[in-house]
């Protein structure tokens, strides 16, 4: 079953024209039982993954979520152990949504999915982790800048929450929480300080986390980056509780 997003795009454009930063909360009503069922399956899949490890007499550690290393643009980084990532959280072709103007990114922060819609009525779905900054903003934007192994400057609010974090700009690399790529969202030429980026914590995919915007597994982010040109439209759904 599929849910229809045209009304949400219309609401987002209406908000943009009127200078509003709000969308109608009825968006939840557009979700079908099929999507809810998918979320339930995803949860059970995570449980099965944990159960498989528990049968070995141990729960997975942070180190277990990595398997070897990979190289990208001269940077060696830890590769994700996909055996611990539920199948529902891996990239896949889906018909869950209908986009009247395909080629956009649709981010459902509540269900923790990012969709790249396509002209044939399908979409590539990626699972995401949603940080504090990620679910505080919603509306329409454009990808106006892209970066490979980008630098990162911690937001002032993040430094205040965690004094152990250095406020200095961190150069791109394997230890940078931005990961191997970043997509920067703008509206009317203004940087919204909203990023689609990577993660050093693959176990957080599919959940809400304390910091960051929209985070993907490094492998998924590299794939998405190559598919999304500058100027791509983005819709971030409201994060309803």
CA 183 to the chain's CA centroid:
11
Report which of 47, 66, 33, 15 is spatially closest to residue 200, judged by C-alpha positions: 66
Which residues face 92 on adjacent strands? 125
Q: Tokens representing 76?
A: 């060696």
Enumerate the active-site residues: 197, 213
How far apart are the C-alpha atoms of 221 and 203, rounded to whole Å? 15
DSSP category for residue 61: P
How far apart are the C-alpha atoms of 138 and 134, rounded to whole Å? 8
């Amino acid at each position: 079953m599929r849910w229809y997003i045209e009304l949400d795009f219309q609401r987002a454009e209406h908000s943009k024209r009127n200078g509003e930063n709000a969308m109608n909360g009825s968006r939840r009503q557009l979700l079908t039982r099929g999507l809810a069922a998918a979320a339930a399956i995803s949860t059970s899949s995570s449980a099965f993954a944990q159960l498989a490890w528990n049968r070995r007499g141990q729960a997975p550690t942070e180190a277990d979520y990595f398997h070897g290393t990979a190289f990208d643009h001269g940077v060696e980084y830890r590769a994700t152990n996909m055996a611990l990532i539920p199948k529902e959280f891996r990239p896949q072709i889906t018909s869950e949504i209908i986009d009247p103007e395909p080629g956009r990114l649709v981010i459902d922060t509540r269900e923790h999915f990012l969709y790249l819609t396509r002209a044939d009525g399908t979409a590539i779905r990626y699972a995401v982790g949603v940080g504090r900054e990620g679910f505080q903003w919603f509306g329409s934007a454009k990808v106006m800048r892209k970066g490979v192994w980008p630098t990162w400057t911690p937001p002032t609010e993040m430094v205040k929450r965690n004094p152990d974090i250095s406020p200095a700009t961190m150069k791109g690399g394997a230890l940078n929480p931005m990961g191997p790529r970043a997509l920067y969202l703008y509206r009317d030429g203004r940087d919204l300080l909203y990023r689609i980026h990577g993660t050093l914590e693959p176990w957080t995919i599919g959940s809400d986390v304390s910091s960051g915007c929209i985070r993907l597994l490094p492998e998924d982010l590299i794939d998405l980056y190559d598919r999304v040109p500058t100027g791509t439209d983005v819709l971030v759904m409201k994060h309803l509780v």
